[in-house]
Amino acid sequence: MTGAVEETDFVLVLVRDLARAQEFYGGTLGLERSPSSGDRWVEYETGNLTLSLTQPETIGQEFQPAPGIALRVADVDEARQRLEEAGVQFPAGTIDSGVCYMAPSADPDGNGLILHRRYAPRNRGAA
């Protein structure tokens, strides 16, 4: 299958309450809502990836949280503080992994979100 996969078109994020999720992703996180969004399937753009939010019953599924979407921010501590002011919890605080800073959290449904900033140089050959 080498070469067949071109891109990731979207990642599905199941939410129990679409209105509440829109307030979080659009308002609290400040992501751009895509005009492709409908009543029951709402898309947010993150720059490189579309997050598609829907309630599980819309697609005949049970709720299952996503483990971790890592959002790049300029300053993890600053972003974390802003979200804490908005009531978002960060039980592990900010972690220094040795190559990056990470602050794990979650959306109102428990879908994992990680504020992320790599500081170590990348050692990959390509850009």
Partner 1 sequence: MADGIGAERVDFLTVPVRDLARAEAFYGQTLGLERNPNSSERWIEYETGNLTLALVQPEAFGMEFQPLPFGAVALRVPDVEAARAKLREAGVEFRGETFDSGVCNGAMFDDSEGNGLLLHRRYAPFADGRQP
Contact residues: partner 1, CB under 8 A: 1-12, 14, 27-32, 34-36, 46-49, 51-52, 56, 59, 61-62, 64-74, 79, 82-83, 99, 112, 114-116, 118, 122-125
Q: Which residues touch 107 (CB under 8 Å, ≥6 apart)?
A: 13, 15, 21, 24, 25, 113
Give me the least distance between CB of 102 and partner 1, in Å please. 10
Is 52 buried (19+), middle (13-18) or exposed (0-12) by CB count in 10 A? Answer: middle
Give me the least distance between CB of 3 and partner 1, in Å please. 6
End-to-end alpha carbon distance in the chain: 24
Which residue lies nearer to partner 1 by CB, 19 or 124?
124
Which residue lies nearer to partner 1 by CB, 21 or 51?
51
Give me the least distance between CB of 35 and partner 1, in Å please. 4
Which residue lies nearer to partner 1 by CB, 19 or 38?
38
Q: For residue 84, give the H/E element and its range.
A: helix 76-85
Q: Are 18 and 42 in contact (CB under 8 A)?
A: yes
Which residue lies nearer to partner 1 by CB, 1 or 19?
1
